Amino acid sequence: MRLIGDVKDLQQLSCTGKCRFPQAVFHAAAFKHVPLMEEHNEAQALRNNALDTYNAALAAAEVGAERFVLISTDKGVNPTSITGATKRAAEMVVSALAAGNAATRFTAVRFGKVLGSSGSVIPKFKEQIGKGGPVTVTHPDVTRYFMTIPEAALLVLQAASIGESGQVLLLDMGDPTRIVDLAKALIRLAGHTNGEICIELTGLRAGEKLYEELLADGDTTLSTAVVRLSVALLQSQVCGLDVLNWVQQMSSGNAVENSARKHLRALVPEFRDTALAS
């Protein structure tokens, strides 16, 4: 049975859980378009990415799910965007709920881009090449971590199996790839030379980084029984009760609409808000 719903609707999530009694819940619902979230959509990003993670996790705990897994992102490390800050906030929410819900094991899994997934750069490049170009790249030095859909799915399942409650797990993404090199490779694979299909540099967009990180400065990792999985040992920690109080504050009245950026900076101290410099 396939059911549709809205992570903003806690009552619906709870009712669905009580009808289905899931053993494991994998929470991947999020707004992830970085520039779009920077442009007048901060409140919606905070609500959908952070507060609704609380709803989904709470509903999972209420029905006694054995595991709850948040699909997180490398954008949450030293975030410079609303997307990254809200995903880091979601990780903090999951860790905070772990302390008071022993029956459910709460974990977050952090990784980079998945090739071929919704919003992936490869379909975009293929479309641009098919039209004769140009292929648009933001910056010649921009790099990203990539993995395939089967790799990501397998490692998420393994993380759900071995992760302890409250942990953030990292997937080994290998070495980062320069986006401009990826564009050149796709041009060659399509049977063109770089001269036939030009690459146009458009500049970094709002909130975007030159490179992503899987760990912040000072953070370390602990190896696990799974070769490509490790546990993040995070230096920047906020008291779980403070996180849950923040959620309650954001859920009341118009708190989210009134300066979402300010509220995110209050919860996520490592948030390097690029809007402050503009």
The tokens for 181 are 């090199």
Structure tokens at 107: 């974990």
Write the pLDDT tens digit of every residue in 238-274. 788 899 999 998 887 676 777 889 999 999 999 988 7
One-letter amino acid for residue 246 of the chain: W
Mean pLDDT of the chain: 89
Phi-psi region of 21 (alpha: psi -120 to 50; beta: other; left: phi over 0): left
Please give the positions annotated as active site: 75
Q: How far apart are the C-alpha atoms of 148 and 153, rounded to whole Å? A: 9
CATH of region 10-113+146-175+216-277: 3.40.50.720
Bridge partners for 229 per DSSP: 171
**Tokens standing for residue 190:** 């399509």
Domain boundaries, the chain: 10-113+146-175+216-277
Report the DSSP beta bridge partners of residue 223: 230
Question: What pTM, to 2 d.p., does this model score?
Answer: 0.90
Q: Which two tokens stand for residue 52?
A: 């609704």
pLDDT exceeds 70 at position 177: yes
Quick check: 96 pLDDT over 90? yes
